[in-house]
Amino acid sequence: MRNILTALLCGAMILSSAVCFAVINDNKMAIGGMMPGISAEDLVSTFGQPTIKDGDEWTYKNFKVEVERGVVTEVSTCSVTITTYDGVRVGLAAEELNSTFGKADKVDKERDRVEYEYYSTDRTKKIKFKVVNGFISKITCKLVN
């Protein structure tokens, strides 16, 4: 009887872990130190003026940001030199995502492209990884409306 109870308890734990999603702390929702929600003023004081300003879209050498009402709402990069807080960068194999962040909150597959989305613990930010042919090709971190 004791073995059956132990087996049932182990099975329940395995089943519950299979439905868990990644949990990323709010302060880790950043690319290259840039976090959605910072002021445009802080962005400029840290990284300087953008090379191109096209309305709300500001382009820097290795990343782009979207700014609305003086607040950075989105940061994205296709550069291999910019990393997430946990060291994930463009060019790494997609398997790195599961080992670093766990199971994605949302996966969108389309032909040779897959997008993995992870939400912050308070669900106010998300980080998205575009994967093409098994390798990360773009990282985007943004505020969730």
Q: pLDDT of 82-97, one tens digit each?
A: 999 999 999 999 999 9
Whole-model pTM over 0.75: yes
What pLDDT, on the 0 to 100 scale, is given for residue 117? Answer: 96
What pLDDT, on the 0 to 100 scale, is given for residue 6? Answer: 46
What pLDDT, on the 0 to 100 scale, is given for residue 17? Answer: 41
Residue 3, classed as helix, strand or coil, is helix
Per-residue pLDDT of the chain (145 residues; tens, 9 = 90+): 554 444 444 444 444 444 445 567 777 889 998 999 999 999 999 999 999 999 999 999 999 999 999 999 999 999 999 999 999 999 999 999 999 999 999 999 998 899 999 999 989 999 999 999 999 999 999 999 7
What pLDDT, on the 0 to 100 scale, is given for residue 8? Answer: 40
What pLDDT, on the 0 to 100 scale, is given for residue 112? Answer: 86
29 within 8 A of 120, measured Cβ to Cβ:
yes
Residue 122, classed as helix, strand or coil, is coil
As a 3-state breakdown, the chain gives helix, strand, coil percent values, each rounded to 5, of 25, 40, 35
What pLDDT, on the 0 to 100 scale, is given for residue 2? Answer: 52
Please report, for residues 34, 41, 46, 75, 127, the alpha-carbon distance to residue 49 in angstroms, rounded to integers and kept in the order given. 14, 10, 9, 15, 24
